[in-house]
Amino acid sequence: MSYQNFSLKQLQEIDAGHHLHPFTDHKELRAVGSRMIVRADGPYIYDSEGNEILDGMAGLWCVNAGYGRTELAEAAYEQMKELPYYNSFFKCSTPTPVLLSKKLAEIAPANMNQVFYGSSGSEANDTALRVVRRYWALEGKPRKNRIISRKMAYHGSTIAGASLGGMSHMHEQLGGAVPNIVHVMPPYSFELAEPGESEHDFGIRAARAVEDAILEAGAENVAAFIGEPIMGAGGVKIPPESYWPEIQRICRKYDVLLMLDEVITGYGRTGEWFAAQAMGIEADTITTAKALTSGYQPLSALFIGDRIARTLIDKGGEFFHGYTYSGHPVACAVALKNLEIIEREGLVDRVRSDTGPYFRKTLMERLSGHPIVGQVRTVGLLGAIEIVADKETRERFQPSGSAAVKVRDHAIAQGLMMRATDDTMILSPPLIWTRETIDIAAARIERALDLAAADLG
């Protein structure tokens, strides 16, 4: 059945009638109808009306190798012909997760030598939570099970993922979160720094909120701290340089494990394979997904550091945990080919040495002076633009979030897909963007900001 036999209106009606979308108000969706994305190539997506849109979000932070990679389709096809599925339970394995694990251990930080697969970042974080709690239980400290996270963090949508995350609107709908998870302030200086407080001092203060939470609970009750190296869905919040070293010091001092969520930052976005390497963070677990396959197949990989792995393996016996699709042969074949492409084309190095710095320079030069821009910040090919009504006082437009939605809608009409989170515009483009693509994107954002500013009076 080809979608081409249906008009856009028919597809929208069926969509509104039967398809529940993630994070969507369906009454609103029914009123406007979905934008139907029908194909994609390189850095572009195309909708059913033939509009070509530069994808500033790499899908949902995942299509790092860009669209139209026939090599990835061929890798999936070949694997499906040979062995479409077999599980990795009951002392069985299949070759592609074996080879992928070897590759991942090579590119990950030195202490990350074990990988557990799932199909999504949420599943990987569920696994991470179970793993750290099991670790402490096996070490004879079952009460050391509290997790410290941050407000505004996003760690997924399963009950454990949403409980680990710090989105208050998600917690309100949970009907009971996973117990013993607490949330402290995020390292978001743009809104939370005191007047006159330096970035350095703010970073230390934000990290000390974790120490306060440990002291309040008693270190003997705290299993781990979890954090995205750069908070993504919460608004690309880049912490001050002082933040992570202080977190590391605190975790070591109280023997609290460090869980990194690199579902967005993993696989090149920051200019290193992992943000842990770019930012010098030594973690005990690292959650990854999304760009592992550039989104061509659903796959997550939870790295488990040597310290935890030794205990799980030597003392743990069977760990009663696993997913039907753990180590899915097709997803792993695609991941292997995807990493090969990223490596062959030098995309990670290019972000570090060329496109990342150029992205920063261009956005800073062209956008930071705009009357409704309060701040531009970037790391690698990850960027945020704060929308404000007043540059000096950082006062926002009201109602909260409305101005950013206007900028986003104008940007899409100009041919650039970007995202609005509260009052922050977000960019997370494919790593194949060149200097020229960055120039095109910046011009479209500039125009979208002008048009939104005119609307806002």
Taking the C-alpha atoms of residue 362 and residue 220, their distance in angstroms, rounded to an integer, is 48
Cβ closer to ligand PLP: 379 or 448?
Answer: 379
268: left (phi over 0), alpha (psi -120 to 50) or beta: left
Cβ closer to ligand PLP: 109 or 374?
Answer: 109
User: Which residues make up the interface to ligand PLP (CB under 6 A)?
Assistant: 120-122, 125, 154-156, 228, 232-233, 261, 263-264, 289
Minimum distance from CB of 121 to ligand PLP (Å)? 2
Minimum distance from CB of 44 to ligand PLP (Å)? 22
Minimum distance from CB of 169 to ligand PLP (Å)? 15
Cβ closer to ligand PLP: 156 or 305?
Answer: 156
Minimum distance from CB of 264 to ligand PLP (Å)? 5
Cβ closer to ligand PLP: 151 or 447?
Answer: 151
Show the CA angle centred on residue 127, arms to residues 126 and 128, nearest 5°.
Answer: 90
| Residue of closest CB approach to ligand PLP | 121
Minimum distance from CB of 293 to ligand PLP (Å)? 11
Minimum distance from CB of 1 to ligand PLP (Å)? 28
Minimum distance from CB of 178 to ligand PLP (Å)? 15
Minimum distance from CB of 261 to ligand PLP (Å)? 4
Cβ closer to ligand PLP: 55 or 261?
Answer: 261
Nearest to 300 by CA among 308, 312, 313, 290: 290
Cβ closer to ligand PLP: 126 or 211?
Answer: 126
Contact 118, 326 (CB under 8 A): yes
Minimum distance from CB of 236 to ligand PLP (Å)? 11
**Encoding tokens for residue 218?**
């008693």
Cβ closer to ligand PLP: 278 or 289?
Answer: 289
Sequence-distant (6+) residues with CB within 8 A of 365 are: none
Minimum distance from CB of 177 to ligand PLP (Å)? 16
Cβ closer to ligand PLP: 128 or 453?
Answer: 128
Sign of CA dihedral 265, 208, 189, 362: negative
Cβ closer to ligand PLP: 154 or 243?
Answer: 154
Cβ closer to ligand PLP: 301 or 367?
Answer: 301
Cβ closer to ligand PLP: 211 or 228?
Answer: 228
Cβ closer to ligand PLP: 244 or 397?
Answer: 244
Minimum distance from CB of 426 to ligand PLP (Å)? 11
Sequence-distant (6+) residues with CB within 8 A of 276 are: 109, 229, 260, 262, 282, 283, 286
Contact 61, 232 (CB under 8 A): yes
Minimum distance from CB of 141 to ligand PLP (Å)? 27
